[in-house]
A and B are shown apart, each in its own frame.
Chain A
Amino acid sequence: MSMLSVERLEMEYQSDRGPVRAVRGVSFAVERGNFYTLLGPSGCGKTSTLRCIAGLETPTAGKITIGEEVVYDRQTRVVVPTHRRAVGMVFQSYAIWPHLTVFDNVGFPLVHGKNRVPRARVRPMVERALDLVQLGHLADRPAPALSGGQQQRVALARAIVYEPDLLLLDEPLSNLDAKLREEMRQELKDLVARLNITTLYVTHDQTEALAMSNLVAVMYEGEIVQEGSPQDVYLRPASPFTANFVGKTNLLNGAVAGGGVETAHGLITIPLPDWTKEAASVVLAFRPEAVALEASDGPIAANTIRGSVSGSSFVGETLEYVVTASEDAFKVKGDPFAPFRIGDEVDLHLPSDRVLIMPGDEATRAELAAAAQLAAAE
């Protein structure tokens, strides 16, 4: 039994220039105790989806089930108001109430909410929640007198203090500085794992998504374009969009030819899946770290692109090069202890098991449109 299930969710905003379709037939399910992430660029409808689940926006179609309870169903006209849904939420702005102390902020749901507990139990529960986020010592501070990271912890403590079935997190780390973000990432992951709370996480940061989640759904223009484990999404992106959005990728257009793909840089031999029989154009995708970079030497080997180094930047653990070959520029990683110089001739060797083949841009768009039509027809 999944903790959260979202079926063909649609949501529109009414704006001056007519309706904006923010969510377009999104379906997914989160298993009990899992950490599920919606990953996508700004404006793709992540927050809108989350707000529909929390009941802060009313969808235009679809069905949402939290635990056993149907909280929204267009067909039977069920709309459970927010305050009766068993969710906890951390907002992007943290939404810490400035007129209350840290303690009262965290205790608020227990004192006034649906999950009201006897007075005597409020203090131990709040203290436990504050200890979990390591803020026990700040309980009596007025809330405005907190740093960004501390506010984030208060918001988290407030969301978990009544032990909700489902925790919704909307880019909770995006307001923190890089160092703190990394720390909190680990802490947050440990915390929800320890409490075994089912978590739905929204972010546009692929590192966060990959590092924390059991499952990642990549969203684009109101739709989920791919769902899978972090490894799946990163190593086997299903579309150029995912490949490009989740991590850095080199894309190379080509046409299917016997035993491989004919590109501007020669034939790349790779195993061809069945669908390529009908595809006119395809795209090859490979990660910068998938490529073996060597100094040019003698004739060009198979599956190799020859070019020259046109840019490099040193980022510590690695060296990032831009290699130009005819019209194209490729991102490649290299050994920081054996650097190349600008202008050096290099060979990019593409191991055939690290190169992905996807439908060309035209085909991808057609595929997405077809999927949308299918969803709408149902």
Chain B
Amino acid sequence: MAIGTPTLQRVWTSLPRRFDQRTLIAWAAMLTVAFLVVIPLVVMIAATFRPAGVFPLDAGEFTLSNYTEFASGQTGFWVVFRNTVVYAGGTMALAVPMAFGMAFLTERTDVPFRSMLYTLMFVPFVTPVFATALGWVLLAGPRAGAVNEYIRLIIGSDSRDGPFNVYTMQGMIFVTALGIVPSMWLLLVSVLRNMDPTLEEAASTSGVNRWGVMRRVTAPLMLPGILAVVIYFTIAIMESFEIPLALGITAGVQVLATKIWLIITAVDEGRFSYGSAAVFGLVGVVIGVVGISLYLWLVRRSSRYTVITGKGYRPRKIRLGAWKYVALGLVGLYLFVKVLMPFSMILYASFLRFYVPPLPENLGSLPWTLENYRNLWDYRFFGRMLVNTAIVVVAAATSTMLLVTVVSWAAVRLKTPVAQTANVLTFMPLAIPGVIMTLAFFLLFIGTPLYGTLALIVIAFVARYLSYTTRLMYSAQLQIHKELEEASLVSGVAPAGTLFYINLRLLIPAFLNGWLWIITHAAKDFTTPLLLATSGTVLVANVIFSRFEGGRFTESAAVMVVLVVLLIAVVWAGRKWIGGEVKG
């Protein structure tokens, strides 16, 4: 450096020249993720210190009353907490054996029609959770539930109730457990698949019998993986909203998420009490963070065991013999109970003017109508609400996937602290209950021009679906040989161009998979629309819920049917498209 160089330039040249495009991209990704996950959290914590009627970031007094009220037990926290724990525990106790049994059947036995079973297991993914819950109300509602009516008819009971009642804790657990089995199955299948069969073979060739192999080799190796899945779903259920909303409110069983919802929607002397809702939210976050830490720790342990051989992998299949038809029958029974029974009730109801249980004495005089569907066309909201929903889900899916692609690219390729931070932050939404996350966005943006726009709903969706899709893209990114990108850089294409022309293009199959996943989940979601939609931004979920609440139940059923049909069409078209992309 020559004497007399201006100081500024000297300072500049002494800086490490690392602020190239890649660094900028990593920073942009990190800051976006931080905005999406850290700010809502900060807002929520701020809200806990503000009295009723004051927004978290407004001027005004601070208070500890939300905490004292919470600690005094006035808010009924312990009841809610106990309910939440019982609900999650019961659901897991019922769902894990079913999901594991099914994963074992499809992965490790010679059960017939395996590929068809795989396809069928994806069917439940398109039915909205809320719709399944309502289907069960029609089947097992204490008075008019069809199953109840038939049982009473058959046994000749005079009672007007029972024997089943879906509006109970047991009812909630049953419906939830049936609902999560497919997602749980999907994760357990990969746990079973990552197990290197040669480890088992080594044990059997050293003279251990099959039961011994199971107990001493297979089980210990898979345990961390299975536990991780169990913890993951336990958190998800402790923070789930829709089934407790559809069944629990009537049952008088409040869990964490519905309690928050009730506090927010209850207007107390014209003042909203976000503060006490936020305290509940904080409890949810603590549960989530503890659970996620445990989950991550277990995942790390289980991946330490994972032996990636890359050799042709052919696990030994257990021959079921005649039992395979029993097994097949059980899977069939599950699908019948999970999908066919509730959904056929919804379909049936959607063609009635008012709901009448399908009993023999009614069959002649059912109030058949197409009115519910015709109303959809007449209804002035319908066009707008469907368009709104389409805009929101497509925008949310596209922006989430773009963000997530960049984050996982940075985490895999750059490995800088900034990139790692972005990657770690994407885990946070898993720990923050959906209701809380959405509530935070509500609190942050109420009073700003963004409030009451579709954009806000999109942002909330992006934040909520960040974590799952990051996992998806991260593992896809690992499969891409880094020299493919380096070849582009050497060809004179800048990092941003390389990311776009090479990386993103090669990741298209994973990108589309994640995209479809978000589309189907966002379109079915109730949490975000119920909290964030305003009269100008009504989504399909709002219409379903308001019809349901307003007692126009059969109309609500028709909207659900339309939604499911549309989702099936989207998923089918999307899968075909991905198939074409992968080949082409």
Give chain A's interface residues, CB within 8 Å of chain B: 54-56, 76-79, 81-85, 87-89, 91-93, 95, 97-99, 108-109, 112-115, 155, 158-159, 162, 168
Given contacts A89-B487, A93-B481, A97-B487, contact A79 B493 (CB under 8 A): no
Residues of A within 8 Å of B1, CB to CB, are 76
Q: Among the listed A77, A83, A113, A114, which residue makes an inter-chain contact with B17, where contact means beta carbons less than 8 Å apart?
A: A77
B505 CB–A CB distance under 8 Å: yes
B492 contacts chain A at the CB level, 8 A cutoff = yes
Q: Name 12 A/B residue pairs within 8 A (Cβ), A-sorted.
A: A83-B490, A83-B491, A83-B498, A85-B490, A89-B487, A99-B505, A109-B492, A155-B487, A158-B487, A158-B491, A159-B490, A162-B491
Contacts of A168 in B (CB 8 A): 490
Nearest A-chain residue to B15, judged by Cβ: A77
Q: Once the chains bind, are A97 and B492 in contact (CB under 8 Å)?
A: no
Q: Does B546 contact A (CB under 8 A)?
A: no
What CA separation (Å) do A84 and B20 show in the bound complex? 12
B493 touches A114 (CB 8 A): yes
CB distance from B224 to the nearest CB of A (A): 21
List residues of chain A with CB within 8 A of the CB of B16: 77
Residues A56 and B486 in contact in the complex (CB < 8 Å), given A76-B1, A77-B17, A83-B494: yes
How near does chain B come to A81, taking the closest CB pair, in angstroms?
5
Contact of B294 with A by CB under 8 A: no
A77, A83, A98, most chain B CB atoms within 10 A: A83
B492 touches A114 (CB 8 A): yes
CB contact under 8 A between A77 and B13, given known A83-B492, A109-B492, A162-B492: yes
Which chain B residues numbered 1 to 23 have a C-beta less than 8 Å away from chain A?
1, 13-18, 20-21
Judge whether B487 and A83 touch: CB under 8 Å.
Answer: no
Tell me, in angstroms, the Cα distance from A159 to B488 when the chains sit together.
Answer: 10
Chain A: which residue is nearest B20 at the CB level?
Answer: A81
Most buried by B among A55, A88, A99, A159: A99
Find out whether the CB atom of A95 lies under 8 angstroms from the CB atom of B493: no
Closest-CB distance, B509 to chain A (whole angstroms):
11
Instruction: Check A77/B14 contact, CB under 8 A, given A97-B502, A112-B501.
Output: yes
List 18 other contacts, CB 8 Å, given A89-B490, A168-B490: A54-B486, A55-B489, A76-B1, A77-B17, A79-B20, A82-B489, A82-B490, A87-B490, A88-B491, A89-B486, A91-B483, A97-B487, A97-B488, A109-B491, A112-B491, A113-B491, A114-B494, A115-B492
Give Cα A85–Cα B484 distance, bound, in whole angstroms: 18
Pair count A-B, CB < 8 A: 87
* Bound-complex Cα distance A113 to B491 (A): 6
CA distance A85 to B505 in the complex (A): 24
Q: Which residues of A contact B502 (CB under 8 A)?
A: 97
Q: Are A76 and B487 in contact (CB under 8 A)?
A: no
Asked whether B90 is an interface residue with its Cβ less than 8 Å from the other chain, the reply is no
In the complex, chain B residues 364-406 whose Cβ is within 8 Å of any chain A Cβ: none
**Residues of A contacting B495 in the complex (Cβ-Cβ under 8 angstroms):** 81, 83
Given contacts A79-B18, A97-B506, contact A113 B484 (CB under 8 A): no
Instruction: Give the residues in chain A near B486, CB-CB below 8 Å.
Output: 54, 56, 82, 89, 91, 95
Bound: A97/B503 CA distance, A = 10
What 4 A-B pairs come out closest when comparing CB atoms?
Answer: A113-B492, A114-B492, A109-B491, A95-B487
The residues of B that contact A87 with a CB separation of less than 8 Å are 490
A82 to B481, CA, bound (A): 18
| CB-based nearest B residue for A54 | B490
Of residues 489 through 530 on chain B, the ones whose CB sits less than 8 Å from some CB of chain A are 489-495, 497-498, 501-502, 505-506, 508
A99 contacts which chain B residues (CB < 8 A)?
505-506, 508
Please report the total number of B residues contacting A with Cβ < 8 Å: 29
CB distance from A198 to the nearest CB of B (A): 15
B497, chain A: closest CB distance, angstroms: 6
Residues A108 and B488 in contact in the complex (CB < 8 Å), given A76-B1, A97-B502, A113-B493: yes
Contact B491 A76 (CB under 8 A): no
Q: Please state if B490 and A88 are interface contacts (CB–CB under 8 Å).
A: yes
Residues of A within 8 Å of B490, CB to CB, are 54, 56, 82-83, 85, 87-89, 159, 168
- B15, B493, B501 — most chain A CB neighbours (10 Å): B493
Instruction: Give B18's nearest chain A residue, CB to CB.
Output: A79
A residues in contact with B488, CB < 8 Å: 97, 108, 112
Contact between chains at B491 and A56 (CB < 8 Å): no
Chain B 519-561 against A: per-residue CB contact (8 Å), 1 yes, 0 no?
Answer: 0000000000000000000000000000000000000000000
Q: Given that A95-B487, A97-B506 are known contacts, is A108 also in contact with B493, CB under 8 Å in the complex?
A: yes
Interchain CB contact under 8 A, A108 and B491: yes
Q: In the complex, A89→B497 CA distance in Å?
A: 18
- The contact of A76 among B13, B484, B494, B508, by CB within 8 Å, is B13
Given contacts A78-B17, A79-B17, A112-B497, contact A93 B505 (CB under 8 A): no
> With A and B bound together, what is the CA distance between A89 and B505 in angstroms?
22
Whether the pair B491, A81 counts as a contact (CB closer than 8 A) is no
Bound CA span A115–B493, Å: 9
* Contacts known (A91-B487, A95-B481, A95-B486); A84 close to B506, Cβ less than 8 A: no
Smallest beta-carbon distance B153→chain A, Å: 62
Chain B, residue nearest A87 (CB)? B490
Q: Bound state CA distance, A114 and B498, in angstroms?
A: 12
Give the distance to chain A from B220, nearest Cβ to Cβ, in Å.
26
Contact B481 A109 (CB under 8 A): no
Closest to A85 in B: B490
Query: How far, in angstroms, from A31 to B498 measured CA to CA in the complex?
Result: 31
Closest B-chain residue to A106, C-beta based?
Answer: B491
Cβ of B15: which chain A residues have Cβ within 8 Å of it?
A: 77
Of all chain A residues, the one with the shortest Cβ separation from B21 is: A81
Tell me if B13 and A95 are in contact (CB < 8 A).
no
Q: Which one of A88, A97, A109 lies within 8 Å of B484 (CB-CB)?
A: A97
A97 to chain B, nearest CB (A): 6
Contacts of A83 in B (CB 8 A): 489-495, 498
Q: Which residue of B lies closest to A84 (CB)?
A: B492
- In this complex, which of A77, A79, A93, A112 has the most chain B Cβ atoms within 10 angstroms of its Cβ? A112
Q: Most B CB atoms within 10 A — which of A54, A109, A113, A155?
A: A113
Complex CA gap A78/B1 in Å reads 12
**B409: min CB distance to chain A, Å:** 16
- Give CA–CA (A77, B498) in the complex, Å: 25
Measured CA separation A20–B508 after assembly (Å)? 36
Residues from chain B with Cβ under 8 Å of A158 in the complex: 487, 491
A139–B332 CA distance with the chains assembled, in angstroms: 52
Q: Tell me whether B17 and A112 are in contact (CB under 8 A).
A: no
